[in-house]
Amino acid sequence: MDYKNILFDVENAIAVLQINRPKALNALNNDVLVEMKDAITKIENDASIRVLVITGAKDTPAEGKRPMPSSFVAGADIVMMSTIPLEDKETPKDFAETGQKVMQQLENLPIPVIAAVDGFALGGGSELALACDIIYASERAIFGLPEVTLGLIPGFGGTQRLPRLVGRNLAKELIYTGDKIDANHAKEIGLVNSVFSSDELMGKAMGLAKRIIAAAPLAVKACKAAVNDGYHKELDKGCEIEIDNFLGAFCSEDRVEGTQAFVGKRKADFKGK
């Protein structure tokens, strides 16, 4: 597939997916979601990719023109939604289902996914970040689910993932009011891992990705599986899931290499086997 709305690149086991509609503040429409799904499917089928970083493209204005505000993803495409007639129930349902499937596909990737959020992450932008494993934000990042101010509710998983991350009551306050919060507030409530300057953000996100790929690939995947699969289970069931994943990692060639490298005081050379 030729991409017109995203940029997708892979280098040294790190994939970077960039939403590329800066003139529309990187808003999500059906075309963007279809392209994202295609890129995520490529990642699923490429064992050499070990981390995915998601970010938004920045505007490059024509000479004499003012740049658009910085945006990770400013939400779903409101202009598109405003044209859907009241009697058309299939189009909005299909749009929400497509968005849900893409976010679920992203969350279910076996590799870590890092969101590098610079500027607006509103509506679908916050929902996209919530589907990632780790969120790094710039100081000018703004998060929020403002759908109620448009007569809507979050449709890409926001009402489900936000309460699980920050707690039910706080999530309800943010969702019911549509309030926007800055990066530091988002960090205080556990929505964001770390906050950096805009100039530092991508370097920090890529630095984290490089630290992750220095670890044993199968062990990292097993950690993600244990956390995600056990998170909503009772503790005893979660610990059973951990044992299963521990056993899988222990019975790998990477475990042999890692433990022997430690004993031999040398750097491990993991093969992902």
**Would you please indicate which residues are annotated as catalytic (active-site) residues?**
127, 147
| Cβ burial 189-227 (10 Å sphere, 16+ → b, else e) | bebbeebbeeeebbebbbebbeebbebbbbbbbbbbbbe
Q: Answer for the pair 38, 1: CB distance below 8 angstroms, yes or no.
A: yes
The encoded tokens of residue 209 equal 């990705």
Round to whole Å and give the CA distance between 116 and 109: 17
Return all residues near 203 (Cβ < 8 A) that are at least 6 apart. none
Nearest Cα residue to 195 out of 249, 143, 132: 143
Nearest Cα residue to 143 out of 128, 159, 163, 153: 128
The encoded tokens of residue 167 equal 């707690």
